[in-house]
Each structure stands twice: as C-alpha cells, then as structure tokens.
C-alpha cells in the first residue's frame, strides 16, 4: 500500500536545481518566478548515481520544454522522450531543440490507447514522469497503464499531487483515495509506493498547494 512521508530540504541547492533554474522549470526548488516545487532536490537524490548511464526517461507534459532541457543537460547519455497532447507545445519545442537525445511524441492521457501506444513505441523506461493536468481520474488511468512500460527497477512518478483537495473539482487527492481507485495488483508488483510531501524554503505554489509526489518504485 502507500506510505506517506515528508521531506524538508530547507535551503538545500543541488546541481540539478541549478540546471532547472537555467531552463526555468517549475520543478526547480530555486526558481525565482511562478511556481517553484522542490522536485529537483528529490530527483537529484533519486537519480544522481545514474547521471552517466544510458537510461530512458519519459515525461508526459512538455509545456515550454524547460524540464526536457534540464534532463537533457544533466543526463548526457540518456534517451529523453517528451509527450504532450498539444501539438503547439511539441512543435515549439522541436523548433528550438538542439539535443539529439531528446525526442517528442503525442500522447493524450485521457485515453488508454493513447497512453499505451505512445509509451510502447519508445519504451521501456527507467523513469516515467507524469506532469499534465493533475486531474485525479487521469492520473489513475495513466498509472494503471504506465506501470507496464517500466524496466525492472524503474520508477514511475506522478507530480503535483494536491495536499488537500483539487480546487477545480473538489476531488480529494489523499492516500486513501489513491489506494481505493488503483488496481490492487499494482501494489503487489512494486517494492514501495510513496506519497511524498516536499518542502523547501523557496517552495511556492499559491492557490494550488500541490507539492507532493506519488512515487512507484519497481521491484529489482
């Protein structure tokens, strides 16, 4: 089942934080404008030992491409695949992208077949990150499909989990709700599942309060 933990990074800054700031991604704990989630601290500690490995990272949700550029600069030997359902974001990123290790493709997480077809084409993955619309039902649908495309020992991460409720829908994003709606077989197939509340002195998500990660660690 899901284990809840809290991690407070205080004012800690990692090399990945610095790169994230350079590309202005809201995953960066030291971003100076807009939302600033402490995810770069978590990702650095999780993945620093794989920095030079030929891993595959899939991220759903391109927007302006800041996090794709961050992954591409930090993981120089990795294959980075960015997915989105908005061709405008895909095209704009591709126009400025100069990193041959970063590719993009279409995915709409509202539809199971789109998740399956897109992940299947480019996987399997060492890390899959979902950072799209943050709607509960879409997250559940994505988790139930995406777990099948992780490598042994891989990690699936759902970003921007609301601490209390989604202000747009009133939906509760709690441990109990995720456990209730996820397929029970998921918990049998993963070593650990964490709902992690992250804090940092520079954390900033006013009006959203969604600085949590739902992390699935695959069995070795």
In which band, very low, low, confident or very high, does the pLDDT at 190 lie, cut at 50, 70 and 90?
Answer: confident
Q: What is the mean pLDDT of residues 170-195?
A: 90
In the structure, what pLDDT confidence band is assigned to residue 219 with cuts at 50, 70 and 90?
low
The residues with which 165 forms a beta bridge, in sequence order, are 172
Residue 179, φ and ψ in degrees, nearest 5: -65, -35
Per residue in 32-85, pLDDT (tens digit) is: 999 999 999 999 999 999 999 999 999 999 999 999 999 999 999 999 999 999
Class of domain 2-218: alpha beta
User: What pTM was estimated for this model as a whole?
Assistant: 0.96
- Identify the burial level of 3 via C-beta atoms within 10 angstroms of its C-beta, where 0-12 means exposed, 13-18 middle and 19 or more buried: exposed
Instruction: Return the axis-axis angle of helices 136-146 and 112-122, rounded to nearest 10°.
Output: 40
Digit-coded pLDDT (tens) for 16-34: 999 999 999 999 999 999 9
Q: What is the pLDDT of residues 140-168, one digit of tens each?
A: 999 999 999 999 999 999 999 999 999 99
Q: Contact, 209 vs 166, CB < 8 A?
A: no
Look at residue 187 in the predicted model and tell me its pLDDT: 83
Contact 40, 13 (CB under 8 A): no
pLDDT tens track for 82-120: 999 999 999 999 999 999 999 999 999 999 999 999 999
- For 55, phi and psi rounded to 5 degrees? -90, 165
Q: What is the pLDDT of residue 193?
A: 95
């Amino acid at each position: 089942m899901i284990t809840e933990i809290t991690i407070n990074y205080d004012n800690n800054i990692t090399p990945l934080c610095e790169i994230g700031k350079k590309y202005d991604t809201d995953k960066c704990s030291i971003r100076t404008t807009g939302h600033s989630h402490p995810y770069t601290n978590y990702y650095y500690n999780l993945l620093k030992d794989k920095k030079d490995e030929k891993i595959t990272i899939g991220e759903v949700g391109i927007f302006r491409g800041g996090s794709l550029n961050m992954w591409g600069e930090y993981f120089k030997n990795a294959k980075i695949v960015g997915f989105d359902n908005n061709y405008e974001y895909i095209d704009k990123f591709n126009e400025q992208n100069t990193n041959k290790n970063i590719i993009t493709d279409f995915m709409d997480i509202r539809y199971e077949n789109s998740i399956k077809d897109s992940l299947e084409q480019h996987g399997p993955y060492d890390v899959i990150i979902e950072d799209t619309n943050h709607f509960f039902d879409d997250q559940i649908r994505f988790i139930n499909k995406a777990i099948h495309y992780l490598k042994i020992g891989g990690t699936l991460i759902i970003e921007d989990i609301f601490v209390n409720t989604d202000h747009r829908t009133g939906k509760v994003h709690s441990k109990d709700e995720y456990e209730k709606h996820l397929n029970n077989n998921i918990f049998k197939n993963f070593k650990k599942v964490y709902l992690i509340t992250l804090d940092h002195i520079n954390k900033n998500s006013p009006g959203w309060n969604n600085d949590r990660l739902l992390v699935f660690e695959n069995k070795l």
